């Protein structure tokens, strides 16, 4: 069975912007999840004394409705919102104290499980849907709350659950699944001391990268913004990747970039060449199938705008390959992409240093540090077709 990509769900850019959850579907000859829920065990190993609050929000796959699930896994649709946004119902679940765990039920959702320390999160509803925290906005009501989230899809074919740093690096956690055969798989755990080491490394990176770090007024570190959000917030220069892009543009003005986007279809190839401000891709017959304008840094970090990746079989797969190559700075290393040699990632001085430093601190090297970090299976994702239970473990901030 082909593994679907867990879409990294980007938070709202500002209060008042609704979010639509992506629904991941797949086909399988042995659909295994016959119940409406599976248990989710949340263990608190953070060592913190703050009260933890949990939220399970997303899209109910059976109906396409957006809403939230309570601890029993019962779905509640969001009521109509307003303009200006109105307060959402309190969807919080009281989480476990440090050293303890609780078990709740996960419905067949494509969504997120949020967790916060010390304070409940503020969710609002517009006429278009749910407004989620926008931590790059200093006036967001959640800006001074320590929180994070995981993403998952649970459907008839199983569960896909991942940790994510696509929007921010914050309170650490790991995810796991007890498989149908009784074994357990997990991912997302930092190395010992990895949390503090990441922030120390980011502080030491010249060029504005330290400006991604956000603290409370008392100096407590809350998170590091992803670089696209850092550009939006004015902390990271909008030109931070320009030198690398210019060198890529120069190289492929006289060299062909070959993209083989599907590992299981090695004969499906597309060929890129730069002409002026455009990189054109042709198929094996020589016909132009899609073209990309010269991307700016924000397009690269977000894998959108000038690197938009529609859910099709041509432009999207090419775009996601380019996005990974730019973020990992491998497009100059090899003219055949994707170039899945992790030791060669992030070796250029102009690269996604945020992603580089996150991967360096992960116990298994896997992370979702940008939206298409799953190119080459370098993402922090676990899956099983017949899961008995899922896990989220809140880890120490050390």
Q: Which has the closest alpha carbon to 163: 187, 143, 146, 145?
A: 187
How does 160-196 read in b/e, with b if 16+ C-beta sit within 10 Å? bbbbbbbbbbbbbbbbbbbbeeeeeebbbbbeeebbe
What pairing do the DSSP bridges indicate for beta strands 66-69 and 52-60?
antiparallel
Residues identified as active-site: 151, 167
Residue that is written with structure tokens 């370098």 in the block: 378
């Amino acid at each position: 069975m082909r593994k679907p990509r867990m879409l990294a769900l980007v938070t709202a850019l500002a209060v008042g912007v609704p979010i639509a959850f992506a629904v991941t579907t797949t086909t399988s000859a042995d659909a295994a999840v016959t119940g409406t829920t599976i248990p989710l065990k949340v263990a608190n190993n953070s060592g913190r004394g703050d009260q933890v609050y949990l939220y399970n929000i997303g899209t109910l796959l059976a109906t396409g409705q957006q809403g939230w699930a309570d601890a029993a896994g019962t779905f509640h649709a969001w009521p109509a919102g307003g303009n200006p946004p109105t307060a959402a119902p309190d969807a919080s679940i009281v989480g476990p104290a440090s050293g303890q765990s609780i078990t709740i039920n996960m419905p067949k959702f494509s969504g997120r499980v949020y967790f916060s320390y010390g304070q409940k999160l503020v969710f609002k509803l517009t006429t278009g849907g749910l407004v989620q925290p926008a931590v790059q906005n200093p006036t967001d009501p959640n800006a001074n709350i320590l929180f994070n989230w995981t993403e998952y899809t649970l459907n008839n074919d199983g569960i896909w659950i991942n940790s994510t740093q696509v929007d921010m690096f914050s309170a650490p956690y790991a995810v796991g699944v007890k498989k149908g055969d009784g074994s357990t798989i997990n991912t997302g755990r930092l190395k010992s001391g990895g949390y503090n080491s990441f922030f120390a490394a980011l502080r030491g990176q010249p060029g504005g990268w330290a400006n991604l770090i956000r603290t409370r007024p008392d100096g407590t570190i809350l998170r590091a913004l992803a670089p696209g959000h850092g550009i939006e917030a004015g902390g990271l220069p909008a030109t931070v990747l320009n030198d690398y892009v210019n060198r890529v543009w120069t190289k492929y003005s006289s060299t062909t970039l070959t993209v083989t986007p599907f590992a299981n279809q090695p004969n499906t190839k597309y060929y890129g060449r730069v002409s002026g401000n455009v990189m054109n891709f042709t198929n094996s017959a020589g016909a132009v199938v899609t073209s990309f304008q010269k991307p700016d840094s924000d397009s690269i970090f977000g894998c959108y705008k000038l690197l938009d990746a529609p859910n099709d079989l041509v432009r999207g797969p090419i775009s996601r390959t380019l996005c990974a190559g730019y973020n990992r700075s491998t497009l100059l290393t090899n003219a055949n992409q994707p170039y899945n040699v992790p030791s060669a990632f992030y070796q250029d001085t102009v690269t996604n240093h945020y992603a580089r430093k996150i991967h360096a601190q992960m116990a298994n090297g896997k992370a979702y540090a940008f939206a298409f970090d799953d190119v080459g299976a370098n993402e922090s994702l676990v899956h099983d077709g017949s899961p008995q239970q899922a896990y989220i473990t809140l880890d120490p901030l050390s």
